[in-house]
A = this chain, B = another copy of it.
């Protein structure tokens, strides 16, 4: 068992810097495309056997030091009763937006095993196969709320902020319900065997620090507090969250995820006695081999004072990234960080 990832999360000494990549099980891999060719995205998410297959691909093909459950952060929103559609090229769509109390009242707090048993089954199956640790995950409540309020992705999040600023009570009620559902969902993942849990706050970065503190952070804190009992590393990733770091470190996370916009050395100074995960620009995987290796060497050096460092991209790997470029990065991290 390769437990380098878990050790780094706990700030223990490791022989080398572990690496995994957000969205490592995904469209950039021809092997994934082959599986995906026969089913819709949602069908794939709900088929434990196929989820196991695609989750394992980047471990086998690229040599990642951790696996992340193949799923989607919005699976839980569907389980809460919000019909979810994926249309090719358009991203996720919730045709029934949540913009008033009546719509919110129709959402339920589901039983995780009943409504998302396929996720727990995937975790149980993966644990039998994997030789690296398995990360479970959920969307952070603020990010999930934006999808429900906007009805999908958004460029400016007008409806979300309109609710925050003109009907804060409704917004907090929605956050509260998502939070309760997420606690049940992640506790079930931990019980099923997830060895670390990550909260993805993809849209936290649209918030001013004061609004993040008021409208988003308290719910992250509640979720992470409810997971302490499982004694597994908890990771919080606030995308575009460089100005929220002072607040994110109060989230209760053991590991702080970092996007590429901040120098990792600067971030480590703020994060203090915690591990960090990140953070090269995913598109810099396109660099010629020697330049990519130089960039990785520089990042490893900048991160040398971290309490623990898990190498990752600053965002998900892009679908057009050549897998051989991802492999160059994995090998470079392993070689160049060898102690």
**A284 in the interface (beta carbon within 8 A):** yes
A174 to chain B, nearest CB (A): 17
Chain B residue at minimum C-beta to C-beta distance from A279: B208
- Give the docked Cα–Cα distance between A262 and B243 (Å): 6
**A225 in the interface (beta carbon within 8 A):** no
A305 to chain B, nearest CB (A): 18
**A158 in the interface (beta carbon within 8 A):** yes
**A176 in the interface (beta carbon within 8 A):** no
Residues of B within 8 A of A205 (CB): 240, 261
Chain B residue at minimum C-beta to C-beta distance from A266: B243
User: Assembly of this chain: how many copies?
Assistant: 2
Residues of B within 8 A of A32 (CB): none
Chain B residue at minimum C-beta to C-beta distance from A288: B166
Chain B residue at minimum C-beta to C-beta distance from A241: B261
- Give the docked Cα–Cα distance between A207 and B262 (Å): 9
**A281 in the interface (beta carbon within 8 A):** yes
Within 8 A of B (CB), among A137-176: 155-158, 161-162, 165-166
Within 8 A of B (CB), among A298-328: 298, 314, 318, 320
- Inter-chain contact A261/B288, CB cutoff 8 Å: no
Residues of B within 8 A of A280 (CB): 208
Known: A158-B318, A209-B261, A261-B205. A165 touches B283 (CB 8 A): yes
* Residue among A161, A208, A286, A318 with most chain B CB within 10 A: A208
Residues of B within 8 A of A37 (CB): none
Chain B residue at minimum C-beta to C-beta distance from A162: B286
- Name 5 A/B residue pairs within 8 A (Cβ), A-sorted: A158-B283, A158-B320, A206-B261, A208-B280, A243-B262
14 more A-B contacts (CB under 8 A) besides A161-B286, A242-B242, A243-B263? A155-B155, A156-B318, A157-B283, A158-B283, A162-B286, A166-B288, A205-B261, A207-B281, A208-B280, A208-B281, A208-B284, A208-B314, A240-B240, A243-B266
Smallest CB-CB A-B distances: 6 pairs: A161-B283, A165-B286, A243-B262, A242-B243, A208-B260, A243-B261
